[in-house]
Structure 1
Amino acid sequence: MQNELTHEGSTFINFRNYTFLDSRSHAFRWVDIKRLRSPGRADGDAELLAALIEHEQFRDDYAGGGVLPAGLRHGPYWVRAVSPEVYEVIGREEGDRILWAWANQFEDVPADLATDLQREVFDRLAAAEQIYYLRKLGDEALHDWGGVHSDFHEFVLINRSEGQVVLLVATDD
């Protein structure tokens, strides 16, 4: 493939770093954002999604193991179960709704966390030219301990004019 992605950097927002009224509200939740650069022109979004799935940064279990270049897990799923076809296009409003509902599920997030989420998450959603959401893949796609995540929300944000692909995961354990 002519369109290899280069990892430019990551941002990690750990809810434990903020003060909630109810200490259980952070519930070991976080947002992980991986920014990748696309130097070439892909034929289509499916090609960019395939390049992302092949990238070593995709091999992250989001449960403390970090990125394993030869890893077999992606979040709660086996990497082999993820393909461009399992992503669905959604609008910015739907992405906003999913993420705010997840973030505020126990109580409204503190103001400083809301500010960080706006800058790092929601502004990126607003700037994306295309938003893909990883749909639930079912029990057969779960890896051996994939049920550790209560919620797993994954978005791929494509901004062709900037040559950027962003992998945004909001999850917990």
Structure 2
Amino acid sequence: MQTAPGLEYEGTSFINFRDFPEEGNPSRQWIDIKRFTITEPPATARELLSALIGNQHFRDDYIGGGVDPAGTRHGPYRIDRITPDSYTPASTDSVIALVTRWVDQCGVVPDALRQVIDREVFGPARTATEIVTLPRLDSSAVNDYGFIHTEFHEIVTVDTTGGTLRLIVAADD
């Protein structure tokens, strides 16, 4: 497992909406959840976000290539343009509303899929001691692949009591 200051990568969960075809939802949406253990509680949330941005598992362009340890992209953005100050504080209710709106826009959502989203996304949001989201950054931060996704939503949940951090990306292709 790759260790960054204060964070240890534990693994990734991937929710592919096409794996829930019970009601014919043709969506190409998915949610990628990277799980980390907080190994050394930082003095500030900013330090924890710095550790996340510096972790090799953050270097994922989310277009199929996976993590590139030497990569320069994170989703649609250049990594060198993302700082802890890029993130915006969020609440559990705002995360649930954002993800629910995004999920519901593409048709029928099977109950089994809603249950997985509730467990893997809303559960960590409910237990988080802090939640931040990455808003759409300005065009100078966009990498050469730009916005290949119609929507790209990034949520970071931190549970200092449980010692966990979740990097949650909800997007489409």
TM-score strictly above 0.5: yes
Q: Is the contact made by 1:20 and 1:109 (CA closer than 8 Å) also made in structure 2?
A: no
Q: Name the residue aligned to 2:42.
A: 42
Q: Which runs of 5+ in 2 are unaligned?
A: none
1:88, 1:132 within 8 Å by CA — same for their partners in 2? yes
The whole-number CA distance in structure 2 between the counterparts of 1:36 and 1:134 is 18
Query: Given the two structures, how large is their TM-score scaled by the length of structure 2?
Result: 0.94
For 2:77, the aligned partner's letter is Y
Separation in 1, partners of 2:109, 2:144: 32
Runs of 4+ with >3 A deviation: 20-24
For structure 1, which segment, 102-111 or 51-60, has the greater mean C-alpha deviation from structure 2 after superposition?
102-111
For 1:65 and 1:79, locate their aligned partners in 2 and report how far apart those are by CA, in whole Å. 16
Map Cα deviations across residues 143-162 of structure 1 (whole Å, 9 max, x no partner): 00122011000011011111
Distance 1:82 1:172 in 2: 21
Report the counterpart of residue 7 of structure 1 in structure 2: 9
How many residue pairs align between the two structures? 170
What is the alpha-carbon distance in structure 1 between the residues aligned to residue 12 and residue 138 of structure 2?
28
Q: Which residue of 1 aligns with 2:159?
A: 159
Q: 2:20 aligns with which of 18, 21, 25?
A: 18
Task: Give unmatched runs, 5+ long, in structure 1.
Answer: none
Query: Does residue 82 in structure 1 map to residue 82 in structure 2?
Result: yes
* TM-score with structure 1 setting the length: 0.94
1:93-112 alignment to 2 at 5 Å? 93-112=93-112
Query: What SS does the corresponding residue of 1:9 show, helix, strand or coil?
Result: strand
Percent of aligned pairs with the same residue?
38
Asked if the contact 1:3/1:41 (under 8 Å) is kept, the reply is no
- Distance in 2 between residues matched to 1:124 and 1:20, nearest whole Å: 26
- Quick one: structure 1 residues 20 and 82, their matched pair in 2 at CA, closer, same or farther if it must change by over 3 Å? farther
Alpha-carbon deviation of 1:118? 0.9
Q: Distance in 1 between matches of 2:64 and 2:38?
A: 27
- Structure 1 residue 170, shift from structure 2 partner: 0.4
C-alpha deviations, 1:116-173, integer Å up to 9, x for none?
A: 1111111111111110000110211110012201100001101111111110000112
* Structure 1 Cα separation of the partners of residues 138 and 53 of structure 2: 18
SS of residue paired to 2:107: coil
Bigger fraction of residues in helix = 1
Q: Give 1:4 deviation, angstroms.
A: 2.9
User: Is the 8 Å Cα contact of residues 34 and 168 (structure 1) preserved in structure 2?
Assistant: yes
Partners of 1:69 and 1:168 in 2: CA distance: 19
